[in-house]
Structure 1
Amino acid sequence: MDSDDLIIQSLKNGAELQQQEDDDKEAALAIAATILVGVELARQDRIENRQPRRLYLCRPQLLPNPRKDTPWQVLFATQNNRAFITTMGLDVETL
């Protein structure tokens, strides 16, 4: 009976150790995930704070072909008095 109790106790201890190791792994994964999320949020925050100070255009903000259909060319082609007066203060006939 003593050896049976010893075997049962040994199995219980092994199961408890395995459970503790699993819990430790889960805790480590949770900590790693929290750190990664924090790093990503900090990066996004830096990007958002950097944008207002940016005084230049990046490639996505530029025209695909600056020699074709620029905003000025489109405005000039319409010959719209209201648009000319709003942008330049001159009407079409003055130009």
Structure 2
Amino acid sequence: MANSPRNLQVKLMRQLDEEDKREDELEDTYLFAATLITCIKLEWMLELHTKAQHQSYLCRPDLLPNPHTATSWQILQEGHNDRAYIVTMEIDIRTFELILSSGFKQRWEKSTIDHTNISLAGVSRPHCQFLDAAGGLGLVLYWLSLIMHKITLQQIFALIPSTVNRYIAFSLRILLKTLKDIPQANISWPDQVTKYNEFEKLSEIVISHHSLLQGAFGSIDGLNLPCQV
């Protein structure tokens, strides 16, 4: 049976209503997607902003312009004050110079500092380094003696984070090799056989400071260990 004009009109109106509904639903979908994307972008920008505010390092513009000139470390070194050396590095000037001259300086100048694009078999270029041997020894002794954030080391030595990390790792390695060659740094068991009983003498020294430590020949005080939560 053929559709009457009225039926065609009703059918057409229904189709138009359905198309309008689909367009409204599609528009709502687009609006929801746009809102979701905007929220994601805002959250991402907020996260970047938060990270930027809590960066635990300094960049080159935040530091002294030249690590070779008038840094806090160089001022302390040029002051040549035993008290300052002991407070910051826990050794006096004589011991500092002994370590330098016993192989640390030679190893610093002859060895290649670890770097991803430099061969360890390559030729060292100490004149191109940000720190000389004394500065490298000072950096690692600061790091070993004082519990501080590396951001403080950046300020003292005017170095960016990657350089601080690389120099500490390099200095630790050659410092250990140097100390093994120094007789005064040798670690050995106290002598109990000879007439001079070293064990008893050392034990007396310990007891004079810590009366409860009976039978000990060595003790350590003021050891700082970093803790991470």
Q: Which runs of 4+ in 1 moved over 6 A?
A: none
C-alpha RMSD of matched pairs (Å): 2.9
Matches within 5 A, 1:56-95: 56=57, 71-72=65-66
The gaps in structure 2 that reach 5 residues or longer are: 76-229
Match of 1:37 in 2: 38
Percent of matched pairs sharing the same residue: 18
Structure 1 residue 72: Cα displacement:
2.0
Structure 1 residue 35: Cα displacement:
0.4
Provide the rounded CA distance (Å) in 2 between the counterparts of 1:12 and 1:62.
71
Q: Deviations over 1:6-55 (max 9, x none)?
A: 00000000011011101100000000000000010011111111112112
Q: Secondary structure of the equivalent of 2:66? A: helix
Provide the rounded CA distance (Å) in 1 between the counterparts of 2:16 and 2:60.
63
Provide the rounded CA distance (Å) in 2 between the counterparts of 1:62 and 1:12.
71
Provide the rounded CA distance (Å) in 2 between the counterparts of 1:14 and 1:62.
68
Provide the rounded CA distance (Å) in 2 between the counterparts of 1:44 and 1:9.
52
Match of 1:49 in 2: 50
Q: Secondary structure of the equivalent of 2:4? A: helix
Provide the rounded CA distance (Å) in 1 between the counterparts of 2:60 and 2:65.
12
Q: Secondary structure of the equivalent of 2:57? A: coil
Structure 1 residue 3: Cα displacement:
1.1
More helix by share: 1
Indicate the structure whose relative CO is greater, using CA pairs within 8 Å and at least 6 residues apart: 2
Q: Does 1:27 align with 2:28?
A: yes
Match of 1:67 in 2: none
Q: Secondary structure of the equivalent of 1:71? A: coil
Report the residue type matching 1:32 in the other structure.
A
Provide the rounded CA distance (Å) in 2 between the counterparts of 1:52 and 1:22.
45
Q: Does 1:3 align with 2:12?
A: no
The gaps in structure 1 that reach 5 residues or longer are: 64-69, 77-83, 91-95
TM-score, normalization: structure 1? 0.59
